Every structure is written in structure tokens, then in C-alpha cells.
Amino acid sequence: MTTESTPLSGDADVAICGSGPIGAATACFLTRHRPALRVTLVTDERSDDPEHLATYRYSGGSIRWAWDDPVKREMTEETARFVRELLADGVELDALENTYHLLHTGELIPALNVSAARLVGHLVDTARAGGVSWHPGTTVTAVRPGQGVHVVETSRGTVRARRVLVALGARTPRVVPEHDPEVEKRQLFVLDLPVGELRERLPHTIVPVGKGFAYVFLKRTEGGTRVVVGQEDVVEDHDTSGPVDHWDELLDSGVGDVLPWLRDARVERILWGSDAGHKTLAVTEPAPGLLAASCGSAVRSAAWIGRRLAERLAGPLG
């Protein structure tokens, strides 16, 4: 991820608030528009401050799953194609080719896991190379209507733009209260288990438990490849103030019966973040040209989302 910053310029055709998968992919696809647009991309990322650590940094980075829903299927398949092209071009995304094993249906599906941080970093770098003006370390405090434009107020000055995309993840409603998606806490348990043998024989296993799913897979982390267990709705946790250790509860929910060897593991680290509960793209337009967007699992849909939002932001005002 690049950290260099340049001063904010006053005017833009499009201002994008937030450089997670949604904001970064949209900025990247906007560079393809002709005639070229002046695009400003603002984000507040700071390292090691949970309040300012973007959700995608915790992500499992899973790109592929054969969804029954045709829209979700299209979203992930387009993104998988996009990512495979990047890999073919030699872009380093810490990719792990794998197989999704859906225990409840017995299906085996070819799957791809990438580092979401690397994917987003690549999208930002491509956007910058295409002329997007990039402003890290900059907090968006408000977006208000101006004369024929929207005014984006930030900790480092204001940007005026005819089109604005607010893509601040779970923090979007702070800036656009009309966009108030249901937010859920998601956790990944990074396990202290030898991965040597598992590397060969552990597919990305999806275990249905209760009304939710647990995911067991390999992920490349800074410390090396690790076995990781993710959970969605298996153990509900409405406390979004920080990570809580629900490991034993998760095992006792049935995951430990299905995969008993997990009981030998020690939890090395909990990665957590708050994400939109819906898995298709939700867009709110409280004023013409002002869009707020969110999507749970935005990593695996990033290319589809970026292309759609770029078309909408570059098109005529609705």
C-alpha cells in the first residue's frame, strides 16, 4: 500500500471517500473513462489503530464460491476472472489456489484466496498510475451540498465535486445517515497449528452450523501460512467494540464435531471487523450525484462493483 500524500486540490469530477475494495476498485475503473476524469480518492487509514484499520485488512480474501443467487454468482465470477488476469500478468496477490468444499452439499468448487490488502493496494496503485489524485491519512468529516457540486469536508481541506462516492464501510452512515445498512461483526481465528501436511489436504471447507456458516481455510498472513477459521452468524456477537474470544463456543456449535482436529489448536490471534450484512451491492443516492455504497464480501465482488459504480459515476446525473 502506498503512503505518499499530495495536497488536496479544490475541484474534481468525482471524489471517492474511502479506499477499501469498493472505493479503490471504483477509482481504478474510472481511469478507463474517456475523456479522462479528474478523480480524487481520500482515505484515513492508519496502522494498528482498530478504529482506523479498514475492514478489508482482516478479510479472508476468498474470491470464489458458487452462489445460488445469479447476481452474487456474476459478482464473484467477474472478480475471479479479473484477479486471474492480474495473476497471469505477474501481479503478486499472495494467492492460494484451493478448492471450496461445501460439506452440506458435497460440492467441490475451484477457489481462489488472495490477500485483500494486496488486491486493494494494487487497485490504488493502478488508479494512481491512471491519474487519480490519492490522499491517504485524510479523514472525511462531512459531505454537504454546494452550488451545483457536493462539498467533501476532510481533515486536510475540502474537495468540490459533481459526483461523490462515499464508501467508508461500516462508517459510511456517519457521513451519509440515509445509508444505514445492517452491519455484522465478523471474526477470523488465526490458529497455531502446523500447516505443512494440511497445505496438501485442507480444502477451503464450509461448515453449515445453525443458521450460519463456519469457514476453515489456509490464509497467508505476515507470519506465514496459517489455518484460519471464520464465522458468520454461528456465534452472534453484537459487541462491535473489539475482538471477543468465542473460540470454544464456535467449536461447541458443531464445528468441533465435524473437524475434531481443530480442538488441538491454540488461537494465535483474532482478526475482526464490521461488515455490511448484505452480500449484494447496496447503493443509496440521497442527492443527485451523491452515492453511498456498501456490500458484505466486497472483496470477492470488487471488480464487478468497481465497474458498475464507475459507469454510474461517469454517466449522466440520475
CA-CA distances (angstroms) from residue 200 to 44, 147, 182, 195?
39, 60, 38, 9
Using CB under 6 A as the binding rule, whether residue 114 contacts ligand FAD is answered as no
Residues 8, 30, 230, 234: which binds ligand FAD (CB under 6 A)?
230
Q: Which is nearer to ligand FAD, 105 or 141 (CB)?
A: 141
CA separation for the pair 262, 233 (Å, rounded): 19
Tallying the residues shown for the chain, one arrives at 318
Residues 167, 255, 290, 309: which binds ligand FAD (CB under 6 A)?
167
Q: Which is nearer to ligand FAD, 152 or 251 (CB)?
A: 152
Using CB under 6 A, which of the segments 82-90, 124-132, 235-243, 289-297 binds ligand FAD? 289-297
Using CB under 6 A as the binding rule, whether residue 294 contacts ligand FAD is answered as yes
How many H-runs (helices) and E-runs (strands) does the chain carry?
Answer: 8, 15
**Least distance to ligand FAD, CB of residue 68, Å:** 17
What contacts 99, CB < 8 A, 6 or more positions away?
108, 109, 110, 111, 203, 204
Using CB under 6 A as the binding rule, whether residue 232 contacts ligand FAD is answered as no
CA separation for the pair 166, 26 (Å, rounded): 11
Residues of span 259-278 touching ligand FAD by CB under 6 A: 271-273, 275
Number of residues in contact with ligand FAD, rule: CB under 6 A? 41
CA separation for the pair 82, 88 (Å, rounded): 10
CA separation for the pair 18, 6 (Å, rounded): 16
Binding mask 30-69 for ligand FAD (x = CB under 6 A): ------------xxxx--------xxx-xxxxx-------
**What's the one-letter identity of residue 141?**
T
CA-CA distances (angstroms) from residue 304 to 41, 63, 83, 285, 308?
19, 12, 11, 19, 6
Residues 8, 12, 16, 23: which binds ligand FAD (CB under 6 A)?
23
Residues 296, 306, 308, 312: which binds ligand FAD (CB under 6 A)?
296
Cβ atoms 242, 50 nearer than 8 A? yes
**Least distance to ligand FAD, CB of residue 199, Å:** 19
Residues of span 121-140 touching ligand FAD by CB under 6 A: 139-140
Enumerate binding residues for ligand FAD (CB under 6 A).
17-23, 42-45, 54-56, 58-62, 116, 139-140, 167-169, 171, 186-188, 230, 271-273, 275, 294-300
